[in-house]
Structure 1
Amino acid sequence: MHDTKPLLLNSSFPAIVRKRLAVLQVNLGYLCNLSCVHCHVNAGPKRIESMSRETIEHVLTLAETANVHTVDLTGGAPEMHPDFRYVVRAIRDRGITVIDRCNLTILEAPGYEDLAQFLAAQHVQITASLPCYREENVDKQRGKGVFHDSLMALRRLNRLGYGQPDSELQLNLVFNPLDAELPIDQDSLEQTYKHHLQDEYAIVFNHLYAVTNMPIQRFGSMLISHGRFDSYINLLKNSFQAGNLDNLMCLDTISIDWQGYVYDCDFNQMLDMPLVASAKPRVHVKDLNTDFLNGAPIATATHCYGCTAGQGSSCGGALATTA
């Protein structure tokens, strides 16, 4: 595995500062039933990192005291954490929206057969990875049989009301390019997805999020191995759109890793880039004073061009300002 961090830190990315904290993105651990090529956390079936119950309690306390409106649960496959259902219930009991970053196939895995019903009962928003609407492309990126299992999971969610036009249960899909290129226009791609999935498989969903692949971890290592890292970085830089800076996810979101340490975003977490505003090398969630976050500088590096290139990219898809 090639380390991309030294190649990314020397950056001329513009300075940006935080707004009021509104979202916690919480990585419950790196265990996953898949090992996807584009995975920026290098998750997989052999990973053992997992958030402790003590740290979970600190996260729940922060969610309540900071008055955030959303907790975004990610991994790995966050559902594989032994306390996943406890976390979801505790957050929902506080009146806070929960997003589950779901790989879909976990809903069809042995031992998780009732997971979809649980998510529906808790009114959890599902943001699910489906990098293409064609079987060969999905299986190439995520593994053989993943497309079939994803369709099974989507049908299960649709039967529960997810993605239906008269339902409050939100089902959003995530597209990642299969190669070292920028996503195409999100709006037009969403319509293509919707027509194809409904016509071919009678599957419906709410929105499609087009997300740029970040040149870190597994994807970054692949770029280096194939001699394409520099060309991809140049593509991101040359596609920079200054208007996207005002809509970056990191402005109102913090990322918490499985150990409880806090970062400006999920990508900075993977590069072990701590909060700039802190005097400590790393800040733990139990010690976080949210008062200093508002107006604080955000740690940036070359990978940040991935969020500002073209139509922009965030965990909620393209940004409002487009190229």
Structure 2
Amino acid sequence: MTLNSVLFPALRRSRLTTLQVNLGYRCNQSCAHCHVNAGPTRTEMMAIELLELIPLALKRHQIKYLDLTGGAPELHPGFRQLVLQARTAGVAVIDRCNLTILSEPGQENLADFLAEHNVTIMASLPCHTAGNVDRQRGSGVFERSISGLRQLNSLGYGDGDPLRSLNLVYNPPGATLPAPQAALEADYKRELARFGIRFDRLLTLVNMPIQRFARQLELSDSLEEYWRVLEKAYNPANLEAVMCRHLLSIDWEGWLYDCDFNQQLSLPRPGLIRHLRDLVNSDADFSDDPIHTGRHCFGCTAGSGSSCGGALQV
């Protein structure tokens, strides 16, 4: 049997704890590895009437975590109101922040808002050197990212306080698996300390061959080779901890998916509850529901594994 013919094992959901919401594809950056093709020219954004359903869904299903992503989720005009509603209800909020958004016009008090409401920050920083970051994200991004991190540190982020967690997110520069998370975290902490930067954890993510990154691999005739890397590194021990087993992903139009990657591949979740409106009107607990899997799932289970919370085997 060839690797190409290997099917990913069937998966079923455990208890639902996290609602991950993509508020839209508008972003102030256009990163080379972005699997949602986000950028400054994108106009897709969740309608306010859908945004207003999210607190209702959180309450009805007793969801513990609201994970906000994009694009740059902070650019949605309803971002702050949604954060406020979730935190008032006792739901932990995670902001997938690109750091440079903190210095965008009109966002000057964003860091203060995040700190005031104890929002956990997952800050994307693909390397601890300026050259590598700027090549992947654009000229000047590293310097602006360091400035953003200093701003967050001044507000109590990165000092071990669980109420103000600051975690950095690492993606490899190309079609390779990330190095061990613990070793990379030590490197990041040592190198960023030179800039006076502190953070809590480093989370390593596998680059998924989806959208913009997949096209780059196709242009270099290396897409199939990367698929084989992921499949060969498959580790069944990661199946118990993959993010789709406790998470629902919602796109900017309100449609439900088993994960963010399924969302980008237009792979709807099985079952009758397909939309945010269905979620609000249902008492289903989703336990033992089947999960829509595919070849891309080898990316989450390769090597040490990969999820929204970093490596699965540390």
Q: Name 1:6's counterpart in structure 2.
A: none
Tell me whether 1:224 sits opposite 2:215 in the alignment: no
Cα distance in 2 for partners of 1:221, 1:11 equals: 23
Q: Name 2:295's counterpart in structure 1.
A: 302
Q: Note the C-alpha offset of 1:10.
A: 8.0
Offset from partner CA, 1:161-193 (integer Å, 9 cap, x none):
100135731000000000100000000100110
Amino acid aligned to 2:292: A
Q: Against the structure 1 CA distance between its residues 10 and 119, is the aligned structure 2 distance closer, same or farther, given a 3 Å change threshold?
A: farther
Q: Name 1:239's counterpart in structure 2.
A: 233
Tell me whether 1:71 sits opposite 2:62 in the alignment: no
Say whether the 8 Å CA contact 2:61–2:285 is kept in structure 1.
no
Q: Name 1:262's counterpart in structure 2.
A: 256
Cα distance in 2 for partners of 1:122, 1:296 equals: 34
Offset from partner CA, 1:96-152 (integer Å, 9 cap, x none):
000000000000111111000000001000000000000000001111110000000
Say whether the 8 Å CA contact 1:10–1:301 is kept in structure 2.
no
Worse-superposed segment, 10-19 or 212-221: 10-19
Offset from partner CA, 1:37-82 (integer Å, 9 cap, x none):
0101100000000111110111211111100110000000000001
Tell me whether 1:34 sits opposite 2:25 in the alignment: no
Cα distance in 2 for partners of 1:264, 1:10 equals: 23
- SS at structure 1 position matched to 2:39: coil
Amino acid aligned to 2:191: H
Q: Against the structure 1 CA distance between its residues 262 and 183, is the aligned structure 2 distance closer, same or farther, given a 3 Å change threshold?
A: same
Amino acid aligned to 1:246: E
Aligned partner (choices 302, 306, 309) of residue 313 of structure 1: 306
Amino acid aligned to 2:42: R
Work out the percentage of aligned pairs sharing the same amino acid: 50
Cα distance in 2 for partners of 1:229, 1:165 equals: 40
- SS at structure 2 position matched to 1:291: coil
Aligned partner (choices 78, 84, 88) of residue 83 of structure 2: 88
Task: Please list every run of at least 4 consecutive aligned residues from structure 1 whose deviation after the TM superposition is greater than 4 angstroms.
Answer: none
Amino acid aligned to 1:153: G
Worse-superposed segment, 149-158 or 286-295: 286-295
- SS at structure 1 position matched to 2:291: coil
Aligned partner (choices 165, 168, 189) of residue 160 of structure 2: 165
Q: Note the C-alpha offset of 1:256.
A: 0.3
Q: Note the C-alpha offset of 1:11.
A: 6.2
Cα distance in 2 for partners of 1:101, 1:86 equals: 16
Q: Name 1:273's counterpart in structure 2.
A: 267
Cα distance in 2 for partners of 1:84, 1:187 equals: 33
Aligned partner (choices 115, 118, 126) of residue 123 of structure 1: 118
Q: Against the structure 1 CA distance between its residues 133 and 158, is the aligned structure 2 distance closer, same or farther, given a 3 Å change threshold?
A: same
Offset from partner CA, 1:234-263 (integer Å, 9 cap, x none):
000000000000000000000000011000
Say whether the 8 Å CA contact 2:60–2:283 is kept in structure 1.
no
Q: Aligned-pair RMSD on alpha carbons? A: 1.4
Amino acid aligned to 2:178: P
Aligned partner (choices 284, 291, 310) of residue 284 of structure 2: 291
Q: Note the C-alpha offset of 1:277.
A: 2.7
- SS at structure 2 position matched to 1:26: strand
Offset from partner CA, 1:201-245 (integer Å, 9 cap, x none):
010000000000000010011111110000000000000000000
Aligned partner (choices 139, 152, 156) of residue 134 of structure 2: 139
Cα distance in 2 for partners of 1:290, 1:302 equals: 31
Q: TM-score, normalised by structure 1?
A: 0.93
Summarize the alignment of residues 175-214 of structure 1 with structure 2, pairs less than 5 Å apart.
Answer: 175-198=170-193, 200-214=194-208
Cα distance in 2 for partners of 1:123, 1:307 equals: 29
Q: Note the C-alpha offset of 1:303.
A: 0.6
Say whether the 8 Å CA contact 2:126–2:133 is kept in structure 1.
yes
Cα distance in 2 for partners of 1:167, 1:24 equals: 20
Cα distance in 2 for partners of 1:149, 1:218 equals: 24
- SS at structure 2 position matched to 1:150: helix
